[in-house]
Amino acid sequence: MLDVFCSIGTNGVGYNHPKMLEVAESERMQRAIATRTGLGINPSTDQHKINQEAFMSVAPPNMDRVTAAMCGSCAVEGAVKVAMMAYRVRQDGGVFVEPTPEELCSCLDNQAPGSPNLSVLSLKQGFHGRLCTSLSLSRSKALHKVDVPAFDWPASQNPLYKYPLSENVEYNREQDRVALADMRAKIEQWRVEKGSEVCAVIMEPIQSEGGENLHSPEFAQGVRELTKELGIFFIVDEVQTGVCSTGTFWAHEQWNLSSPPDFVTFAKRMLSCGFYHNHETKSEQPYRHFNTFFGDSMRALLTAQQNKIIKEDNLAAMAAEVGDYLQDGLREMELKYPKLVRDPRGLGTYRSFTVDSAPLRDALGLKLKSYGVNQGPCGDHSLRLRPTLYFEKSHADFYLDALDKACKDLA
Amino acid sequence: MLDVFCSIGTNGVGYNHPKMLEVAESERMQRAIATRTGLGINPSTDQHKINQEAFMSVAPPNMDRVTAAMCGSCAVEGAVKVAMMAYRVRQDGGVFVEPTPEELCSCLDNQAPGSPNLSVLSLKQGFHGRLCTSLSLSRSKALHKVDVPAFDWPASQNPLYKYPLSENVEYNREQDRVALADMRAKIEQWRVEKGSEVCAVIMEPIQSEGGENLHSPEFAQGVRELTKELGIFFIVDEVQTGVCSTGTFWAHEQWNLSSPPDFVTFAKRMLSCGFYHNHETKSEQPYRHFNTFFGDSMRALLTAQQNKIIKEDNLAAMAAEVGDYLQDGLREMELKYPKLVRDPRGLGTYRSFTVDSAPLRDALGLKLKSYGVNQGPCGDHSLRLRPTLYFEKSHADFYLDALDKACKDLA
């Protein structure tokens, strides 16, 4: 069985990688397992070194801090909380001012001014998690959200491109312009009509749960400029896109932003969870944001080892190269089976295509299984690939052959 | 150094317990470490067995389901989400009804009716986590909450007892009655004035972050009766109180409720995180609540081993016995140093006392360190003990001796 879904892409270097087993057997790992401490209050003496190897050695360009979390949703909510606290400092002219007695008192009743009317803007079809507040940011599937109360926060239009990108340049640029204008309008609308200040925009490099919608470098650069102009934060959610499968360690590196995002979240394939940020958003007071476990040394040791493996085996470059090869193969399938393989798209081996309908998508997924391929759904009627970073041309050939057979059966 | 704080009580069986190291070295553990799968979609073949040993073998009486989470805050938010979905089923007469198109559509915009005006009531000074929504339930410290938006949910009066309990029975029963009346009034107020239905009450057996406030069996039984009468859920948050230190595996067992809570959350010392619930609150549809990791086999293996150790060494009974001994010692200290050791209280070795002021509390904590004891703060000016389950009489003697010396220095 060729697994190209890998638990929604959490498996970066395959099952039972010898070098991962090496760490698993190490004395340091066994100590980390047998005794867990609360890392925010009782870090081990080598925690700084572990953090350097696991997180800072692969930090996105120009980001110098990292805060741990326990899952992807927690990572997003942690970044959102820290952004809100830092926004308050910006409002006070960049200087931390002690909260007033009225603020301290009112927040215990969940009321303003202590609990302010701040909001975070996400994009339509975006996905940012399923805990109660990250769910307010997710807009991909109604069944995830229904029956759960939500914050009245804005969602702006996502750019919806025609594929292949190279043949629809002008149309797609127009979608970017429309989406950026809507983002600006929604932020203004929330301020004027609802008295709510949008303090951050959150966005994925590729909307994955929402159907694998790419966001162009031009659009992302526009968001970076808009958020800077308005003095609000830009959170890039790389929980699913992070760690090399797009061809670069972080997908947003390919946006070539003129200045880095304010927050970058990670989880899944990173094996550890949390968010990168910068000096400006460092809290001036201890314990403003806190978690008892605050990360996991055991997982961080694995992340550190995986980083080494990725570097030694040059896995990001391989994902870029095999990704191009895979895309060519998928384009050929599209010509042969236009109802079953439409709009192949993505970056590196982080790739997907649309099927004509949800029932047909599910049938194709089952057929693929019968030909030895485990692939996963995404969006309303797409299929996505999330193979490990050892996905080579031979695997792409095996996959494309299985896809060809499965399509032939269903065509 | 005698550690009686143990990373806020997460360390149940001490540092480097030989039997925990045994599991750490096992082949099964090494497989779990080297390859992590998304347990909600790709459970290992022995996952059911692991879940039985880790969770169901120590399930609270009459609770038959468990759902995994990644940290204590996630456990609370997961229980809250599942309670909300189940409340909807109750509203529909106990039968799952497909959401209407209007609900599905409106929830994507975070608006009613899809995103309903439901709320969860917590108690003043309660603590239930620090992610964005669990923070709406926490009422213990303003500095945790300020600057972060909150749901407009009710908090009712917590019973505030006089200690020792045995000498203030009538006064304390009156506090219970006042607190119960306020809970009922707040639920009614939210319904009438804010159009918000309270679908659940959440409460700790002992309010830990809030200053170690006990809740009597009579009060808890009153909450159980009130929630049943109103058709709403009762969530008992055992993230900090769980796993034997109170003298029973779950602290709420000592309430002797006439029927079990609807949800019991766990994390910290349990080593794994999640919540117990019951058949009624099982989701009829898949993926309504989901997380990519959805637990951690590695941690579950440790939880299973810890459960065995606890049983073999009869550690709950020891906590009960040594707890009584410790309490007697603390009462003696109270007579000698009334400004430094006031109102010693708790269950088992889960114990604390109030110090006259925060600066004095901090000074006492530092002094204790100089005499070889690591103890932790709680509430505004209390100190708490969260020793491992191997806290024996000899440790209590060492601790009380250090406390005596530290108090003498400061008196």
Residue B404: give its domain's CATH number.
Answer: 3.90.1150.10
Both A378 and A275 in a single domain?
A: no
The residue from B280, B311, B342 where one domain ends is: B311
pLDDT of residue A35: 81
Both B295 and B381 in a single domain?
A: no
Yes or no, beta carbons of A271 and B36 under 8 Å apart: yes
Give the minimum alpha-carbon distance from B169 to chain A in angstroms, rounded to a whole number: 30
Yes or no, beta carbons of A24 and B34 under 8 Å apart: yes
Q: Give the DSSP letter string of B158-173.
A: PP---SSGGG-HHHHH
Q: Say which of B117, B149, B290 has its CB closest to residue A115.
A: B149
**Domain encompassing residue B90:** 38-311
- Residue type at position A97: V
The full 3-state SS of A333-355, as one line of letters, equals HHHHCCCCCEEEEEECCEEEEEC
Q: Say if residues B165 and B214 touch (Cβ distance below 8 Å).
A: yes
Query: Alpha helix locations (H) across A35-161?
Result: 47-54, 72-91, 101-107, 134-137, 142-145
What tokens does A362 get?
A: 């599910």
Q: In which residue are the tokens 């609000």 written?
A: A232
B384/B140 Cα distance (integer angstroms): 15
Does a structural domain hold residue B400? yes
The CATH number for B204's domain is: 3.40.640.10
Terminal-residue alpha carbon distance, chain A: 23
Q: Say which of B103, B115, B147 has its CB closest to residue A150.
A: B115
List for chain B the helix, strand, coil content (%; round to 5). 45, 15, 40
Peptide bond into B116 cis (omega under 30): no
A160/A139 Cα distance (integer angstroms): 15
Both A137 and A111 in a single domain?
A: yes
Peptide bond into B261 cis (omega under 30): no
A268 chain-B contacts, CB cut-off 8 A: 292
Does a structural domain hold residue A21? no
Both B251 and B321 in a single domain?
A: no
Local mean pLDDT, 10-residue blocks, chain B (411 residues): 94 94 92 87 92 98 95 97 97 94 97 97 98 96 96 98 96 98 98 98 97 97 98 98 98 97 97 96 89 92 97 98 98 98 98 97 97 95 97 98 98 87
A250/A244 Cα distance (integer angstroms): 6
The residue of chain A nearest to residue B20, with distances taken between CA atoms, is A34
The residue among A9, A18, A7 whose CA lies nearest residue A391 is: A9
Q: In which residue are the tokens 């949390």 written?
A: A274
pLDDT of residue A200: 98
Does a structural domain hold residue A272? yes
Helical axes A297-312 vs A47-54, angle rounded to 10°: 40
Report pLDDT digits (tens) over B279-311: 999 988 888 999 989 999 999 999 999 999 999
Count up the domains in chain A and report the number: 2
> Alpha carbon of A260 to those of A264, A281, B189: distances in Å?
9, 13, 47
Eight-class DSSP state of A121 = E
Q: Which of the residues of B are catalytic?
A: 127, 237, 268, 292
Does a structural domain hold residue B29? no
Both A107 and A187 in a single domain?
A: yes
Local mean pLDDT, 10-residue blocks, chain A (411 residues): 94 94 92 87 92 98 95 97 96 94 97 97 97 96 96 98 96 98 98 98 97 97 98 98 98 97 97 96 89 92 97 98 98 98 98 97 97 95 97 98 98 87
pLDDT of residue B285: 86
* All residues at 6 or more sequence positions from B320 whose CB lies less than 8 Å from its CB, including other chains: B247, B248, B348
Give the minimum alpha-carbon distance from A336 to chain B in angstroms, rounded to a whole number: 32
Parallel, antiparallel, or unpaired for β B206-207 and B213-214? antiparallel
pLDDT of residue B247: 98
Instruction: Tell me what ipTM this predicted complex has.
Output: 0.95
A172/A156 Cα distance (integer angstroms): 17
Q: Which of the residues of A are catalytic?
A: 127, 237, 268, 292
Yes or no, beta carbons of A20 and B10 under 8 Å apart: no
Both B321 and B347 in a single domain?
A: yes
Q: Say which of A38, A70, A288 has its CB closest to residue B7.
A: A38
pLDDT of residue B37: 87
Q: Say if residues B229 and B258 touch (Cβ distance below 8 Å).
A: no
Does a structural domain hold residue B26? no
Does a structural domain hold residue A198? yes
Report pLDDT digits (tens) over B9-35: 999 999 899 999 999 999 999 888 888
Helical axes B27-34 vs B297-312, angle rounded to 10°: 150
A33 chain-B contacts, CB cut-off 8 A: 20, 23-24, 29, 33, 298, 302
B158 chain-A contacts, CB cut-off 8 A: none
Q: Say if residues A380 and A125 touch (Cβ distance below 8 Å).
A: no
A138/A146 Cα distance (integer angstroms): 12
pLDDT of residue B336: 97
Does a structural domain hold residue B83? yes
Parallel, antiparallel, or unpaired for β A2-3 and A118-123? unpaired
Both A235 and A318 in a single domain?
A: no
> Alpha carbon of A32 to those of A37, A47, A235, B394: distances in Å?
9, 11, 31, 28
Q: Say which of A29, A77, A150 has its CB closest to residue B110.
A: A150
CB pairs under 8 A between A and B: 269
pLDDT of residue B31: 87
The residue among B66, B23, B37, B27 whose CA lies nearest residue B302 is: B23
Both A323 and A348 in a single domain?
A: yes
A329/A405 Cα distance (integer angstroms): 14
What tokens does A239 get?
A: 């929980």
CA dihedral (A243, A248, A254, A260) positive or negative: positive
B24 chain-A contacts, CB cut-off 8 A: 29-30, 33-34
Does a structural domain hold residue B24? no
Give the minimum alpha-carbon distance from A274 to chain B in angstroms, rounded to a whole number: 13
Report pLDDT digits (tens) over B309-340: 999 999 999 999 999 999 999 999 999 999 99
Mutate to test the interface with B, among A100, A105, A108 (most CBs of B within 10 A): A108
pLDDT of residue A284: 83
Query: Alpha helix locations (H) across B195-296?
Result: 217-230
The residue from A311, A335, A369 where one domain ends is: A311
Compute how many other C-beta atoms are within 10 angstroms of the C-beta atom of residue A193.
8
The residue among A97, A98, A58, A64 whose CA lies nearest residue A280 is: A64
The residue from B288, B311, B334 where one domain ends is: B311
B41 chain-A contacts, CB cut-off 8 A: 7-8
Both A193 and A281 in a single domain?
A: yes
Both A228 and A291 in a single domain?
A: yes
Both B355 and B283 in a single domain?
A: no
Residues facing residue B382 across a β-bridge: B354, B378
A356/A340 Cα distance (integer angstroms): 6
Eight-class DSSP state of A199 = E
Yes or no, beta carbons of B285 and A143 under 8 Å apart: yes
Both A106 and A203 in a single domain?
A: yes
Yes or no, beta carbons of B10 and A37 under 8 Å apart: yes
Q: What is the SS3 assignment for A49?
A: helix
